[in-house]
Amino acid sequence: MTTDDDAILVLENVGVARNGQPILAGIDATFQRGLVHAVVGPNGAGKSTLAAVIMGLEGYREATTGVIRYEGAVIGQLDVTERARRGIALAWQEPARFEGLRIGRLLEASGASSDDEVDAALHDAGLEPDRYRQRAADTTLSGGERKKLELASIMVMRPRFVMLDEPDSGIDVASLDHIFAALATLQERETTVVLITHSPTVLRHAERAMLMCCGAIVDRGDAERIGREFASGCIPCPHHPRQVARHDTRRAS
């Protein structure tokens, strides 16, 4: 039994269209405070779009219908900066191109209050502080290095609700442990986490999961069960879009 007090973020009948194309429809979801949630589903299911809608990114905010409630307040009209100020964060599937700040400065701008905190965040994300502190945060960083830097930024930002879009993509196996250690730290801080992932290894770190398909949530519940369902029955996708419209997407979580 969950109560409204347990919910940090609630979506009610959320939909979004892009270029006249419906991408998400009828999304009802509750994210419980302090838990690690996973969002799984095949390519093109709408997972990253869901994250963009919650973050209120440019081009999505205006196109979103339905209600997004965060900490009890309707936030649909708030821009991305205000949502970030209230503690919502998103680590991108494709890390943003940075603007060329030194990495140390970037982390200070993200919220680190001392050199020690900068170094700890770099170390925890798997970036050797002495090697990276003075480097420019730009496209000379490799894809994996940019992902790690983004994780370091998230850790110093101390968000209350963080979405990590494919945190393991482009990350070598040895470095995966840094992601899991960061997750453990986020849990200690009682941060609510949404992991968007295709990886069974990452999914194992989630407590709840949602299965998305064709712009809808088609199942939800215990992460292990949803993981099995996704692994066994979901590819090739049995949910024709017209079947999804008839799917019961309002099952209790």
How far apart, in Å, are the Cα atoms of 118 and each of 19, 51, 134, 212?
A: 41, 27, 11, 36
Does position 44 interact with ligand ATP (CB under 6 A)? The reply is yes
Does position 47 interact with ligand ATP (CB under 6 A)? The reply is yes
Among 6, 13, 18, 190, interactor with ligand ATP by CB under 6 A = 18
Closest among 5, 186, 20, 23 to 195, alpha carbons compared: 186
**Under a CB-based contact definition with an 8 Å cutoff, are residues 234 and 208 in contact?**
no
Measured from the CB of residue 19, what is the shortest distance to ligand ATP in angstroms? 4
Q: Strand, helix or coil at 201?
A: helix
CA dist., res. 85 & res. 80, Å (int): 9
Does position 48 interact with ligand ATP (CB under 6 A)? The reply is yes
| Binding residues among 162-191 for ligand ATP as defined by CB under 6 A | none
Residues whose CB falls within 8 Å of the CB of residue 97, separated by 6 or more in sequence, listed in order: 138, 139
Nearer to ligand ATP, 104 or 227 (CB): 227
CA atoms within 13 A on the CB side of 147: 19
| Binding residues among 102-141 for ligand ATP as defined by CB under 6 A | none
Question: Which of these ranges, 82-90, 92-100, 168-176, 214-222, lies near Mg ion under the rule CB under 5 A?
Answer: 92-100
Question: Which of these ranges, 17-25, 80-88, 132-140, 174-182, lies near ligand ATP under the rule CB under 6 A?
Answer: 17-25
Residue with tokens 């209230």: 86
Q: Strand, helix or coil at 133?
A: coil
Q: Residue 84 is which amino acid?
A: A
Closest among 81, 101, 98, 99 to 89, alpha carbons compared: 81
| Binding residues among 13-72 for Mg ion as defined by CB under 5 A | 47-48
**Size of the residue set binding ligand ATP (CB under 6 A):** 13
Question: Which of these ranges, 43-51, 74-82, 137-145, 171-179, lies near ligand ATP under the rule CB under 6 A?
Answer: 43-51
**Tokens of residue 232, six digits:** 């066994």
Question: Which of these ranges, 44-52, 65-73, 202-210, 218-226, lies near ligand ATP under the rule CB under 6 A?
Answer: 44-52
As a residue count, the chain comes to 253
Q: Which does 56 bind (CB under 5 to 8 A by kind): ligand ATP, Mg ion, none?
A: none
Measured from the CB of residue 130, what is the shortest distance to ligand ATP in angstroms? 35
CA dist., res. 69 & res. 196, Å (int): 20
Among 9, 10, 27, 49, interactor with ligand ATP by CB under 6 A = 49
- Residues at the contact surface with Mg ion, assessed by CB under 5 A: 47-48, 93
- Residues at the contact surface with ligand ATP, assessed by CB under 6 A: 18-19, 21, 23, 41, 43-49, 93
